Structure 1
Amino acid sequence: MISIFKVFNPLNVLWLAILMFILRIGYVAQVPDKLEFTFVEPFARLLVPVSYEYAFSPMANVFLAGVLILAQALLLNYLVNHFNLLGKPTFLPSLMYVTLTSLFSPFMMLSAPLICNFLVIWMLFKLFSFYKGDDAKSTAFDLGMIVAIGSIIYLPYVYLFLAIWIALIIFKPFNWREWVSGILGYFTVFFFFAVFYYLNNKLGNFYHIWAPLGTRFPNSININYYNYLVLVPVVLIIVLYFFKLQQNYYKSYVQVRKSFQLLFFIFLIGGLSFYVKSEFNLNHFLLCAVPAAVFFSYYFINANIRWLYESLYLLLLISIIYFQFNTF
């Protein structure tokens, strides 16, 4: 499987669609009677004055989520190849993204974090352009607006604003105007949002939008660890990725090294921002799928022992399908 996707072949899109269907068979077989889809935060509900939460049947919900994931996989693949992050054209990023977005059942339905992954990919296009851009002020302003839009869809996305400043530190010499441009872009969107609140006589509630950001980081989380055994091969691949990255780090171009540094911070920000939502939901970690797919791709594109990396990926596929049919 890995060897097929290592080659940049347009026919791999077909194989990708078939694999995505296979990885969702277990969930489709026992899909719930109702699936809720909420694509804006409650504070932005005024923007969508119609009832839409159950507008799609469960099967339509899963199908549309699959279409979005396939589109995101192809966009991510284009991003990685465009910036030459893996050293040669390949279809591995799309394969890894489709695989990672099949890990848990909440990943396979329509959700706000899934919509936000389009914004994550869009941000990466702009963030990576910092390296060769002479003036990053307009790009930082655009990125601030993207984060603001993402915050309206899914509030924890606001923490990805840090990725703008981190990218400026990694790619550019310090320029306070570029740092301020991102803030201006963010508040431009919310200025118009405040006007909308004012026109609807709700300006007094505007400051409540950011109240959840004051939530304390939880001391503990009650989870059934057996349901997360599927992550064992994921963790193993991540560890192998870091070993490969360490071996090849100084052999890579400077832009590639800096890009992987940024992806690591985005991965951390996406993972650690889960606590903002009062109700813990696994679909939050879809925000980590984009950088994680690039990490996985890096390992598999550089792995030399074919039986090992093919077996490791097969183990991951088997684990995903097995845990869809077996819960503890």
Structure 2
Amino acid sequence: MIGIFRQKTPANALLLLFYALVLKFPLFLHPVVPVLHSEDNYLYRVILHGLDSAIHNIPICYSILTFLLLVSQAILLNRISNHHKVLPKPNFLPGMSYILITSLLPDWGHFSAPLLINMVMIWVWYRMMELYNSHRPGTAIFGIGVWTGIVALLYVPAVAFLLLMLSALLTMRPFRIREWFVGLLGFTFPYYFLFLILYLTGTWKWAGIIPSIKFAVPAFPATIWLTLGIVWLVIPFILGGYFVQKNLNKFLIQIRKSWSLLLLFLMVAIVIILISRVTSYENWIIMAVPLACFHASAYYFPNKTLGPEILHWLIVGYILAMNYFI
């Protein structure tokens, strides 16, 4: 399977869809209606209210929507990774890895604000990588700021992605204070509309607007299956990080910066998890984008495919056992 996805052929797009159907078919067997959490912000509540009105809280509809979002995110991530040559040769491993790791924890199959954030942040990551050679950085930086502000309106702890935007400016651009101000202006831009709507509807309350940031220890895995799922997230990440570091000198400087940006993305995602008070693992899916790229490198770089194949099928076996037999 690894050998097939290491190639970039049109047939692999169809194979990726079939691969997703096999691993994520339990979404349709056990559909779940989304639950609002205290960290869900204004924009997500509006979206969820609109969906409830349109599909009348039918669980299977949310499963279909979640499946389409996950597959779309995998395809978009794969396309961007190939476009920017995150791995030396075009392939389908980032998309495969995204489908694989988002099947490791059952909560990652729920429709949620963090799931929507992933779609936005894949695009933001793409725009951040383009800053290195951008001829109109002001427009790009303002757009990145706007989208970063939008994800904060979806999920309150996602305000921490402001740190990623500032880190991207440090990593991909020479320091220019004007560009930082443009990014901060873009970040606050969605809030202008929120303030206006709240003021006109008479629901203006400072307590509901200012994010409440409190660090908390994430919930410990309650079962051995959740523990194994986290283990399968960590092991390929460590292997992928090793291979990226080993081959770093062979990359162009822009690719090196892109990998640094992915590591910063992961660190900010961990911060978001630490400032979330959700007892489920839905918010952990924010880590899936950078983790998928590191997992893909663990499958791509070894000269012999036997090791990656064994690792891949062990993870697939765990997912099938957890979803179909437990």
Do the two structures share a fold, i.e. TM-score over 0.5?
Answer: yes
Cα 1:276–1:326 change in 2 (3 A) is farther
Matching of residues 1-328 of structure 1 within 5 Å: 1-29=1-29, 31=30, 34-36=32-34, 41-44=40-43, 47=46, 50=49, 52-53=51-52, 55-203=56-204, 205-213=205-213, 215=214, 217-219=215-217, 221-224=219-222, 226=224, 227-325=226-324
* SS of residue paired to 2:216: coil
> 1:67 & 1:51 partners in 2: Cα distance?
18
Q: Which amino acid aligns with 2:301?
A: N
Q: Is the 8 A contact 2:160 2:271 kept in 1?
A: no
- Mapped partners of 1:50, 1:82: distance in 2: 36
1:196-243 CA-to-partner distances (Å, cap 9, x unmatched) read: 11101122x144323422x1x225644325122123233221121122
DSSP 3-state at the match of 1:89? coil
The amino acid of 2:191's aligned partner reads F
Q: Which amino acid aligns with 2:34?
A: E
Is the 8 Å Cα contact of residues 197 and 206 (structure 1) preserved in structure 2?
no
Preserved contact between residue 102 and residue 288 of structure 2 (Cα < 8 Å): yes
Distance between the aligned counterparts of 2:218 and 2:151, measured in 1?
27
Contact 2:102 2:285 in 1 (8 A): yes
- Gap regions ≥5 residues in structure 1: none
Does structure 2 retain, via aligned residues, the 8 Å contact 1:93–1:293?
yes
- State the 1:182 CA deviation: 1.1
Does the aligned pair in 1 maintain the 2:216–2:276 contact within 8 Å? no
Query: 1: CA distance between counterparts of 2:81 and 2:145?
Result: 23
AA at the equivalent of 1:20: A
Give the direction of change, closer, same or farther, for the CA distance of 1:4–1:51 in structure 2 (3 Å limit).
Answer: closer
Match of 2:194, SS? helix
SS at match of 2:247: helix
| 1:150-201: CA deviation from partner (whole Å, max 9, x where unpaired) | 1111222211111111111111111001111111011121012101111011
Please tell me whether the aligned partners of residues 141 and 184 of structure 1 are also in contact (alpha carbons under 8 angstroms): yes
CA distance in 2, matches of 1:114, 1:196: 25
CA RMSD of aligned residues (A): 2.3
User: 1:116, 1:78 → 2: CA distance?
Assistant: 18
Contact 2:218 2:274 in 1 (8 A): no
Q: In 2, distance between residues paired with 1:170 and 1:45?
A: 31
The change in CA–CA distance for 1:319 and 1:308 in structure 2 (over 3 A counts) is same
User: How many residue pairs are counted as aligned between the two chains?
Assistant: 322
Structure 1 residue 78: deviation in Å?
Answer: 0.9
The answer as to whether partners of 1:142 and 1:185 remain within 8 angstroms in 2 is yes
CA distance in 2, matches of 1:99, 1:311: 14
Q: Which amino acid aligns with 2:113?
A: A
TM-score (norm 1): 0.90
1:326 is displaced (CA, Å) by: 5.7
One-letter amino acid of the structure 1 residue matched with residue 212 of structure 2 = P
Contact 1:27 1:324 in 2 (8 A): no
How far off its partner does 1:45 sit? Answer: 7.2
Give the direction of change, closer, same or farther, for the CA distance of 1:212–1:27 in structure 2 (3 Å limit).
Answer: same
- Matched position secondary structure for 1:180: helix
